[in-house]
Structure 1
């Protein structure tokens, strides 16, 4: 199924956190995701037009396994967003200036290959892995 960016419906992702306050500080304040509805046990965020929901479930939070991808130990359970290159660079600069510890530093993966992309991984306060990536040519997002 082929869809262009103007017709892609937003996805919904729910994930566990150990603290709603820490999720608000990280996703709302640091990443700049506007907050939607909430209750004491959960909070919605607008993650670049997609709905992510932090649910209070401390025993479930955090990534546990990695998989080798182009020389990096990528957290198997992660989520993220694909930005434009300028947006990606601005986010990398913002996170670096904020002192965020990267588990995979911002860099270009698959250099010179199909699917060349900028990527970075970091953990939220609950240990959930987040990836921010970008492609110089968005048409290569699903290229083989």
Structure 2
């Protein structure tokens, strides 16, 4: 057993093909506030609850260090989950679809707070993002 305890996910770094397109998705559509811009690196830090989502431009100084952008047949991440509130699946699905975002129907899934309904959507680079509501009370 390690001599430490994981408290929460601190940040997630996504290498993106178009920084402005991804900023529009995460900041304007999902409401993640811009916490810090590091233009010299091609990086933007966005707030996501208590953690951060860091967007790194593939063609920027930092992004080029990670190699080629993953293609349609392979990704670096299966998905990540953002706990949101309120969770109104029909309204959320409609909002995302109106913005041209691919959305999968919601279903009950297990997460940090237990079983709850969530849906999957896809960011502009094809990363699967799970948007999760509150746990279902037993």
Separation in structure 1 between the aligned mates of residue 25 and residue 14 of structure 2, nearest angstrom: 14
SS at 2:136's partner residue?
coil
Separation in structure 2 between the aligned mates of residue 14 and residue 63 of structure 1, nearest angstrom: 19
Gaps of 5+ in 1: 1-7, 67-75
Trace 1:35-46 onto structure 2 (pairs within 5 A): 35-40=34-39, 41-46=42-47
1:16 Cα deviation after fit: 0.9
Query: Match of 1:50?
Result: 51
Separation in structure 1 between the aligned mates of residue 136 and residue 10 of structure 2, nearest angstrom: 23
Q: Where does structure 1 differ by over 6 angstroms across 4 or more consecutive aligned residues?
A: none
TM-score (norm 2): 0.66
SS at 1:38's partner residue?
strand
Separation in structure 1 between the aligned mates of residue 124 and residue 95 of structure 2, nearest angstrom: 17
Trace 1:51-130 onto structure 2 (pairs within 5 A): 51-57=52-58, 59-61=68-70, 64=73, 77-84=78-85, 86-89=86-89, 91-102=92-103, 104-105=104-105, 107-109=106-108, 116-130=115-129
Preserved CA contact (<8 Å) 1:101 1:122 = yes
1:14 Cα deviation after fit: 0.8
Preserved CA contact (<8 Å) 2:15 2:57 = yes
Trace 1:20-31 onto structure 2 (pairs within 5 A): 20-31=19-30
TM-score (norm 1): 0.64
SS at 2:87's partner residue?
helix
The one-character-per-residue Cα deviations of 1:62-91 (angstroms, maximum 9, x if unpaired) are: 67569xxxxxxxxx621121235x335353
Gaps of 5+ in 2: 1-6, 60-67
Query: Match of 2:13?
Result: 14
